[in-house]
Amino acid sequence: MPVNQDQQHNPYPVKYFLLTCLLFLATASSQAIAAGTPDIRALKSQLLAIDPLRDHIRGDINAEFSLIEYADFDCPYCRRFHPAAKQLIKTSGGNINWVYRHFPLGARQASTQKLAEAAECVAELGDKNAFWYFTDNLIMQPKRGKYTQKNAENSLPTGVEKAAKLARIDATALAACINSGRHTTRVQADSNNALQMGLIGTPASIIINNRTGQLLLRQGAASLQTLKSDIATLATPASAL
C-alpha cells in the first residue's frame, strides 16, 4: 500500500520537529517513523468501515472509490485541501465519494473539538445536505474566532453562526445542541479511530477502491492532480495492497 505525505497539520511542538530533522540526517530508514507513517497492518485492520447511517458521505454511496478524510476545522492545510477534494468528487461522474471524519488536533484542540461537534449538530438539525453546506463554509474561513467556553454557553462564534445560517440552521437551536454535549462522543470516536491507525496530522486521507479492497494513504494538502493520480493508481489491477 503506497503511503504518501504532503504538507499537513502536526500537533507536536518545535522540539519534536528538530528531533525529526536529526533522525532524518542520521538514517534514511528512520524517515518514515519520524514523519509518523502509520503501521500498514494497523491502518488496514483499524479503519472503520464506511457506514451510510453514521458517516457524512458526499457523492454516490455506491461509488467505486472512496476518499475518507480525517480533518480538523482549525487546520490550514485542511482548508487548502478542501477545494481539491470537492472538485475531485464533482468531476468524477459519480465514480468517487468523499467521507468526512473529525480529527481535532493541536493547541486549540478544545476549540476545534467544539467546531466538530457543531458540524454534527448541524447534521442532526438540518436536512441531508446541511452538514456539507456548513462544513464547506466554516472550513474556508481563515479567521472565524476561537470557540470559547463563553461561546458554548451563551452564543456562537461569528463564523459558526454564519455557516449555520447558510445551512439554514437556527442559531439558538445549534447553540443548545452544542452545549448539551450530545455529539462529543461521536467526534471523539472519529479521533480515536485516527489515533488507532497511527495518524498524527491533518488532513489524512485514506483512498479506497471499493471493488478490489485496495487502498492508499495520502497525508497532507494534496492537489487535485495528485488525488487523480492516486485514483489512477488504485484503478490499476497491478496495484499492490
Confidence tier at 6 by pLDDT (50, 70, 90): low
Give me the domain span that covers residue 111.
3-10+38-235
In three-state form (DSSP H/G/I as H, E/B as E, the rest C), the secondary structure along 55-102 is: CEEECCCCCCEEEEEEECCCCHHHHHHHHHHHHHHHCCCCCEEEEEEE
pTM: 0.81
pLDDT of 89 reads 97
Locate cell 528531533: which residue? 19
Q: Which three cell numbers stand for residue 125?
A: 438539525
Whether residue 18 has pLDDT greater than 70 = no
Contact present, 49 and 81 (Cβ < 8 Å): no
Contact present, 157 and 144 (Cβ < 8 Å): yes
CB neighbour class for 40 (10 Å; exposed up to 12, middle 13-18, buried from 19): middle
21 in a structural domain: no
Find the range with the poorest average confidence among 19-33, 97-111, 167-181, 204-218: 19-33
Backbone phi, then psi, for 67, in 5-degree steps? -110, 110
93 in a structural domain: yes
136 in a structural domain: yes
Whether residue 28 has pLDDT greater than 50 = no
> Pick from 110, 112, 208, 205: which is nearest to 160 by CA?
112
pLDDT of 31 reads 26
164 in a structural domain: yes
Whether residue 189 has pLDDT greater than 60 = yes
Number of domains in the chain: 1
Q: Could you report the per-residue pLDDT of 102-138, keeping only the tens digit for each?
A: 999 876 677 889 999 999 999 999 999 999 999 999 9
82 in a structural domain: yes
Q: Which three cell numbers stand for residue 196?
A: 488507532
- Average model confidence (pLDDT) across the chain: 82
The CATH number covering residue 162 comes to 3.40.30.10
